[in-house]
Chain A
Amino acid sequence: SAVISQKPSRDICQRGTSLTIQCQVDSQVTMMFWYRQQPGQSLTLIATANQGSEATYESGFVIDKFPISRPNLTFSTLTVSNMSPEDSSIYLCSVGKKGQVRGNTEAFFGQGTRLTVV
């Protein structure tokens, strides 16, 4: 398993500002993911962050809006830039750990960061 710590747990921000969310894992992992969970909705993958390479963004998400850093195998940050009220959401960090059988990956989640933009 993996224990994931996210900071901050919640924040209220002014529109036009940026917030950086930190994700710390208790073990080295190759794959880290950032998800968004908008109010009353499911989780949407923002990007995949692998150490040593640029993040891979899903359709509808761009690096200028959601820059990601992955300096080592236990840490990542997601920045929500130039925020607007539409960015109000829960942002979740997730890590993938491969099982003993190739291709079987299990995901673990942090508690999330609840962001409100006013």
Chain B
Amino acid sequence: AQSVSQHNHHVILSEAASLELGCNYSYGGTVNLFWYVQYPGQHLQLLLKYFSGDPLVKGIKGFEAEFIKSKFSFNLRKPSVQWSDTAEYFCAVNVRDTDKLIFGTGTRLQVFP
């Protein structure tokens, strides 16, 4: 069965620090990859997605992610975080043509001013 692993459960950073959140998946076939963010008290929002093409994907609010097929990874990065980035971040995988998403356990990010 497919699974998604997020290595960092809780990350605490100061403003302007760089961020990298790990995401690995287990599936040998073709996948679509997503990062979702959930701000406190709000619903899930799509940060960025990878379907095909350039493995370096840029999303909203300065986030980017790199798909490394050989490592089954899709790590999320941001060069300089802000207090407003405090949220829960979820990596998700969609096995192509199955339509449903498999989510990782999530990473709670806290950014202090």
Contact = CB atoms under 8 A, between A and B. Distances in A.
B102 interface: yes
Interface string A24-48: 0000000101000000011111001
Size category, B interface: 20 to 34
Given A43-B90, A48-B100, A111 B51 contact: no
Size category, A interface: 20 to 34
Contacts, number: 56
Interface stretch (B39-47, B54-62, B70-78): B39-47
Interface in A65-118: 92, 94, 96, 99, 101-112
Nearest to B42: A111
A107 B30 CA distance: 18
Contact of A43 (B30, B32, B52, B103): B103
B51 to A, nearest CB: 5
B43 A104 contact: no
A42 B32 contact: no
28 contacts: A33-B100, A41-B106, A42-B90, A42-B105, A42-B106, A43-B44, A43-B90, A43-B101, A44-B103, A45-B101, A45-B102, A48-B100, A92-B44, A96-B99, A99-B51, A101-B52, A103-B30, A103-B96, A103-B97, A104-B96, A105-B32, A105-B94, A105-B99, A106-B34, A107-B92, A107-B101, A109-B36, A111-B42
Interface of B: 30, 32, 34, 36, 42-44, 46, 49, 51-52, 90, 92, 94, 96-97, 99-106
